[in-house]
Structures are given as C-alpha cells and as structure tokens.
Structure 1
C-alpha cells in the first residue's frame, strides 16, 4: 500500500464516520431531545452511513490498481477500527453509555464496512481476471 493510498484510506475512513455523525445532529433539538422515533433515526443514519460509505469506498478503489481483495480487507478493517475508536472517544461519552450498550446498539452495524469493501474488492478482482 503506497503512502498516498494510506492517506486516502485514513481521510475517507474519517469521512465514513463524520458524515453520519454530522447528519445525526439534524434529528436532535438543541437540548438533546430526539425529534423522531429512535427506530426512524437509527434507520436513517444506517442508510446515510451505507450510501456514503459505498461512495467513499468507490472513491478509494479508483486509486487501487491491483490486489483488490487485499485492499478490500485492509480498508474495511481499518475503517471498522477507526469508526469504533472515534465512537469510543466522542459518541459514547456524548451518549453517556457503556461500551457494551453502544456496541449492541450501534457498533455491531460497522461490521458491514469490511463486508462491503471485501465484496467490492472481490468484484474488481474477478473483473480484472476476465480481462
């Protein structure tokens, strides 16, 4: 992995966390009260995270020329860890939650990141082999 690709990985990974986090503020009143049912909020944020995450992975893979599956594994796992670390540092204290409660409610959903990135890497690898 080149230095340029590592930088893209970290920056895009940070955006994969920041975009849903920023959008989530649209659903809270200034006092911290949720303005929609929690299930709706959770569904919308999951959708925002999936759409933005797929787009960011697309942007990442535009710079990958080979070893697509390996890159899919690396980017997926690094974004998974980055998202959980940022949530642990910022979101869990804001929620006044325990790590276990957070992980069951939110963190487990981040497993989708490596699943999607590895799938993208596999598709690109198979496509390259057919050329």
Structure 2
C-alpha cells in the first residue's frame, strides 16, 4: 500500500475510534452521561492508545528518514482530525464556536505530531 494512503487511512481511524467510543458516554440529546472532564479524559486516552498503536504499525515499514516520516505522519493526522472536527463544528453537529472548539478539543490533537516525531527521533537514535 502507498505510504501516504496508509497515513491517511490511519489518520481517519485515529479520529473514528475515539468518536465511536464517545457515543457510549453521550445521550441522544448530546448530554454527557458522565462528568465532562472524565469524558474528555476517556477520549484523550482512547485517541492516544489508537494513535500510538497505529504509529507503531506505520513505523514498522519505515527504514530511513524516521524523523521526517514522523513529521509527515503527525502533520497528516493533525490536518485530518482538525478538518473532520471543524466540518462538524461548521455543520452544527458540535454545538460550539471555532474558538470553543480549539480550546476544548483542537489543541489536544497537537499530541499526534508530538508522539510521531518522538517515535521517529528515537528510531533515528537507535537505527539511524
């Protein structure tokens, strides 16, 4: 499979799984069934687990330029996740302003390039 296609597919999965998991904690009217901070913690941890597992899977096929691959992978995932979420904000699915979105959700996606670049860096140190 083309590496860029793999990056995009993995980026979609990184967004989709926490989104699906979140439905277990929100009622049909969009009200939290648990404390909002606990809900946010669950989605962050779920996204982190899925992201790290997919990044590991991606890096298994990388043989050189580990940091560069980490930058590209993390950036693509960041852009995909922000684009999907912002389309939901603009469509009204997420009832919040863009500013609220970035303070409540959007900034958290910066973790994606942080851990993909970190993985690339440690691989470079060990193998490069």
| TM-score normalized with structure 1 length | 0.92
1:88 lines up with 2:86 in the alignment: yes
The RMSD of aligned alpha carbons is: 1.2
**What is the DSSP-based 3-state SS (H/G/I as helix, E as strand, rest coil) of the residue aligned with 1:95?**
coil
2:36 matched residue in structure 1: 38
1:4 matched residue in structure 2: 2
1:127 matched residue in structure 2: 126
1:64 matched residue in structure 2: 62
Deviation at 1:118, TM superposition (A): 0.4
Is this contact kept in 1: 2:89–2:97, CA < 8 A? no
Q: Larger deviation: 67-76 or 27-36?
A: 27-36
Q: 5+ residue gaps in structure 2?
A: none
| TM-score normalized with structure 2 length | 0.94
1:73 matched residue in structure 2: 71
Number of corresponding residues: 127
Deviation at 1:7, TM superposition (A): 0.8
Q: 5+ residue gaps in structure 1?
A: none
